[in-house]
Amino acid sequence: MRKVISALLVCVVATSLFAQENQEKKAKEEVKTGWTVGVLPALGYDSNLGLLYGAIVNSFDFGDGSRYPDFNHNLYLQLSAYTKGSMDAIAYFDSYTLIPNKHFIGRLSFNRNRTYPFYGFNGTQTVYNADFENIDATGDFISQVFYKYDRKLAKADFLLEDRIADSKFKWIAGFDLGWYDVATVDIDHLNKGRDDDELIPDVPILYDQLVSWGIISADEKDGGFDNSVKFGLVFDTRDRLTNPMKGVWTELLFRASPKFIGNNDNYGRVSLIHRQYLTLVKEKLSFAYRLWYEGNLGEVPFYARQHLTTSNYYEGFGGAQTVRGVLMNRVVGQHTAIGNFEFRWKAYRFHAIGQNFYLGFNLFADAGKVLKGYDMDLTNVPVAQRNQLFSNSYKDLYTTFGAGLKIVMNENFVVSADYGMAMNKNYGSSGLYVLVGYLF
């Protein structure tokens, strides 16, 4: 619901701006200088969490305009909360000139989610049945929050990138600090104000059951640290930072999480991400794709397995940033791969309120696969629950298809609305995502 309302607000604003311009002639693009600011409201409702309110502010500094359409600094601020206590606070700073000749990224965030999505491990090896959370589904219903748990997460991420000599290669180095506080869902809190026929029942949810069976270990069930250092190599030939029309961006990144910096054990992660952009019609139509391998090494704690290894912070294969139409965090495996393929059309350019705009559309297909699952010892699982909650296979290919709308200001502030449909109900049905930025 939140996403639908945000999308409508964006469309209303865009329509009013569009009407200001002479539609019979193409607006001339102006080189931008200094700071520009874009604002997106967060409004909506969730039956478990209550009313959503807040805002996203995304500001770009183009300096003297010599780098336009690329920027000098990008500042992203988000503050949103639900009336029943969940919240997001994010401050993200992306700069190419703060440190001369180097690219710096810094991100501070706090997330409290009273119904954080959790679907077990290894994709379809842990069965997803929507009726388990559907109070109107007679027979199969368990709890409205069966695939959830309560999570607090505080994170600080920093990254530095620099070109190697005069080549297209760059090195990356940085560190991530994370503290997870995990618990079962507080149904007493969520049940406040509910009618008797809508109360969340006091029954074991998936998280509780995996803890009781030892699949989630006792020393991890309440959360803990996930601290790491990261380093890698990038090959970048893009013609611009946001929505390139040509070039490649290939990134090999490692994250090492040794025990001596606060982690419960030694573990590591690696990702190889290749993105390519192809012009089909100059400055109008392009084809872009992303191929992504993600591997986890050692005993990664359950609460951090969905933390993907990228220059920015992403959680879980499934959802707005990875496979659109698949449920967020639906696919958590030890070794996984995804692909995203989309046509991007810059349909109409116009000038309004002193800014450059274009209206864009995209058609996409996303796909993914668990290459190797985590070892899950089901010895302690009763036969009835084993048949109900687990299967013998995790190697299915999951696919989605969809389309999107983009409203872009000054080539960089992107209000994006994507709608994706999953082809396998075991991964979800569909999703509408209203965010800032292109997928990649």
Report the pLDDT averaged over residues 148-159: 96
Alpha helices (H) in 382-435, listed in sequence order: 383-389
Asked if residue 94 lies in contact with residue 59, where contact means CB atoms within 8 angstroms, the answer is no
From the number of C-beta atoms within 10 Å of its C-beta (0-12, 13-18, 19+), residue 393 rates as exposed
pLDDT digits (tens, 9 = 90+) for 55-101: 999 999 999 999 999 999 999 999 999 998 899 999 999 999 999 88
Q: How many CB atoms are located within 10 Å of the residue 25 CB? A: 8
Tracing tokens 């119904």 back to the chain, one arrives at 115
Asked if residue 372 lies in contact with residue 333, where contact means CB atoms within 8 angstroms, the answer is yes
Q: How many CB atoms are located within 10 Å of the residue 217 CB? A: 13
Helix (H, G, I), strand (E, B), or coil: what is residue 262?
coil
354: region left, alpha or beta (phi > 0 left; psi from -120 to 50 alpha) = left
Asked if residue 417 lies in contact with residue 432, where contact means CB atoms within 8 angstroms, the answer is yes
Report the pLDDT averaged over residues 273-281: 98
Specify which residues 108 forms β-bridges with.
91, 156
**Is the peptide bond prior to 204 cis by the omega test (within 30 degrees of 0)?**
no
d(CA 427, CA 330): 6
pLDDT band at 420 (very low <50, low <70, confident <90, very high): very high
329: region left, alpha or beta (phi > 0 left; psi from -120 to 50 alpha) = left
pLDDT at 393: 82
pLDDT digits (tens, 9 = 90+) for 241-253: 999 999 999 999 9
pLDDT digits (tens, 9 = 90+) for 288-340: 999 999 999 999 999 999 999 988 778 888 988 999 999 999 999 999 999 99
pLDDT band at 373 (very low <50, low <70, confident <90, very high): very high
pLDDT at 20 exceeding the cut of 50: no
Count CA atoms closer than 13 A to 126's CA, side-chain side. Answer: 26
pLDDT band at 261 (very low <50, low <70, confident <90, very high): very high
pLDDT at 28: 61
Report the pLDDT averaged over residues 175-203: 94
d(CA 269, CA 216): 20
pLDDT at 394: 85
Q: How many CB atoms are located within 10 Å of the residue 260 CB? A: 7
pLDDT at 42: 84
d(CA 399, CA 390): 21
pLDDT > 70: percent of the chain: 93
Asked if residue 145 lies in contact with residue 205, where contact means CB atoms within 8 angstroms, the answer is yes
Asked if residue 254 lies in contact with residue 268, where contact means CB atoms within 8 angstroms, the answer is yes
Phi, psi angles (nearest 5°) of residue 188: -60, -40
pLDDT at 21 exceeding the cut of 50: no
Q: Where are the domains of the chain?
A: 2-23+35-436
* Sequential DSSP letters for 219-255: TTTTEEE--EEEEEEEEE--SSSSS-SSEEEEEEEEE
pLDDT digits (tens, 9 = 90+) for 108-124: 999 999 999 999 999 99
Contact partners, residue 260, CB within 8 Å, separation at least 6? none
d(CA 160, CA 102): 7
pLDDT digits (tens, 9 = 90+) for 381-399: 999 999 999 998 888 899 9
Residue 202 in tokens: 């006091």
Fold of 2-23+35-436: Porin (2.40.160)
pLDDT > 90: percent of the chain: 81
The CA–CA distances, whole Å, from 249 to 21, 105, 160, 186, 295 equal: 36, 17, 17, 43, 19
N residues, the chain: 440
pLDDT at 30: 85
**pTM score, whole prediction:** 0.88
pLDDT at 5 exceeding the cut of 90: no
Angle at 14 between CA 8 and CA 15, to 5 degrees: 90
d(CA 3, CA 295): 31
d(CA 389, CA 377): 14
